[in-house]
Amino acid sequence: MPVGSLGVGSGIDLDSLVKKMVSAQRDSKVKLYQDKIHGYDSKLSALGSVGSAIDTFKSSVEKLNDSKLFSGRNALIDQPDDKKSLDVTADRNSSNGSYEIAVNQTAKGSRILSAPGLFSSSDEVITARGGKLKLSAGDDSFTINVPPGTTLSQLRKQINSSENNFGVSANLVDNGKGSLFFTITSTKEGDGNSLKISNTPDPLAKLPISDTLTADEKDAVEKAPLNSSGLSLDSVSTEGLSAGMVMSPNDNARDAIITVDGIQISNNSNTFDKAVSGLSIDALALTTKPTKVEVSYDEKTVKETIKSFVSSYNDLVGVLGKSAAKGSVLNGNSMVRNLQSSMSSSFMLSHSDTGKLSTVFDLGLKMGRDGTLSLNEAKLDKAVSTNYDELPKLFTGSGGLASSLERLLNSYTGREGMSRALKDSIQKSKDNTEETLQAYEGRMKKYEDSLRDKFSHLDSQLSNMKAQGNYLNTMLGQMK
């Protein structure tokens, strides 16, 4: 029976009565379940914030616990930023010290160009016979097939678009005086790597030869170019009887040359990565005098890492304090309380028994009443510059602060960590509550259906009684 029809027969609002009876039985208990689920959601959200802060802090701890951090080197070059003649990168295998480096010559590739007056138009056909062009520089080379009737412009595009091109670029330059220069450059640097171009004419392309010619004349005709201009593949080659491409002495590929502490070093590129152990030197421009390069420990990166460590620690302390404050959802939570206590204790321990740096507080750190850290950067600068060798032991190794904190944080993070276990426990409780609520809602639905069945039967009986009463009243009325 539709809900709206309940009570129609009796004239009593039985539908509202059923809703009120169900509401009285259901609403208060459903609210308890929903409040409980909301509480679990709040705890999961708070744990998510805590977990994120732990992960961020752990990342900074791991960087500080890496011994490679303290073996890094920095190269300081005595040169103006707007007139750099060289770049130097030092890795952890380099030695601290001072170097005098001069750039005597920079490496470059090669260039060849056509002889003056050889070409006048980009549409000139450079071969009617066709053939192959081989472009080579050192150990690199590629070959292109040149079809009969290829123009200078078409050859340029063919060279530049070759899939095996190793760094060769062809161009056309018009001097405005009737001469067109065909230039080809190669990026391959180093002595002995100058560009060369050789050609092989197509032996299958033949001219009709008269039988009246002598053998020498026939041979000359076979070898003759098929162009009206007299050009052949030799015109775009550096080799051959009529080679048209030439290279000036200044356009040859060459090595780079630098001098390090009086020792001259050559290399086939401008990057010297094997000249000095641990140093990569890039020659950018010639120098008039040696440039001083100072290689030392990378103190800047170490100090930035320590500052990041302090910042992420304070962020974590702030999140833990907010989550465990009075009235907060994690107030009194043992995991949060133990983590706060354990981290503070780690800072109080001595992590080095020799030298001037026994605790991180000797670096300028100070812990406030609220558990956060403050940093005296002037004291940090002095401690790092004067006692750099003691830093690795203070932070890394079995007794280092970062090592101790990383072990502590590992017990809270990951699939087996306490944070994950607590989240899983809360999620399970939430799931169970949601299932209980769903089952209770099912029972309430059955309860409502039962009430409607009963009141529907009552409504039918009242309707019949009302009909009978009306009938009796009508009969009594007729008897008067």
CA-to-CA dists, residue 168 to 110, 115, 150, 203, angstroms: 10, 19, 19, 27
Rounded to an integer, what is the distance from CA 411 to the centroid of its chain? Answer: 29
**Rounded CA separation 10/8 (Å):** 6
Looking up tokens 């007794």 gives 399
Q: How many Å apart are CA 321 and CA 122, to the nearest integer?
A: 78
The structure tokens listed for 40 are 């679990």
Length of the chain: 480
Specify the pLDDT at position 142: 96
Identify each DSSP E strand in 337-429 by its residue range.
Answer: 365-367, 373-375
Q: What is the DSSP letter of 290?
A: P
**Torsions phi, psi for 209 (to 5 deg):** -115, 130
What integer pLDDT is reported at residue 209 of this predicted model? 46
**HEC assignment per residue over 87-138:** EEEECCCCCCEEEEEEEEECCECEEEEECCCCECCCCCEEECCCEEEEEEEC
Report phi then psi at 421, rounded to 5. -60, -40
pLDDT in tens, 430-448: 899 989 999 999 998 998 8
Give the model's pLDDT for residue 259: 97
Q: What residues have CB less than 8 Å from 277, skipping those under 6 apart?
A: 93, 94, 95
Each residue's pLDDT tens digit, 110-160: 999 998 888 989 999 988 888 999 999 999 999 999 999 999 999 999 999
Give the tokens for residue 442: 């099912």
Share of the chain above pLDDT 70, in %: 86
Question: In tens digits, what is the pLDDT along the chain, a chain of 480 residues?
Answer: 444 566 555 566 777 888 888 888 888 898 999 989 988 888 888 888 888 888 899 999 999 999 889 989 999 999 998 899 999 999 989 999 999 999 999 999 999 999 888 898 999 998 888 899 999 999 999 999 999 999 999 999 999 999 999 999 999 999 888 889 999 999 999 999 999 999 887 665 554 444 554 555 445 444 444 443 446 778 888 886 678 899 999 999 999 999 999 999 999 999 999 999 999 999 999 999 999 999 999 999 999 999 999 999 999 999 888 887 887 777 777 888 888 888 888 888 766 665 788 888 999 999 998 889 999 999 999 999 999 988 988 898 878 899 999 998 888 886 766 777 777 888 888 899 989 999 999 998 998 888 887 777 776 766 667 666 766 777 777 776
CB 344 within 8 A of CB 328: no
From residue 394, give the alpha-carbon distance in Å to each of 45, 68, 129, 260: 36, 14, 79, 37
Q: What is the pLDDT of residue 87?
A: 96
Rounded CA separation 61/315 (Å): 13
Report the share of the chain in percent with pLDDT over 90. 46
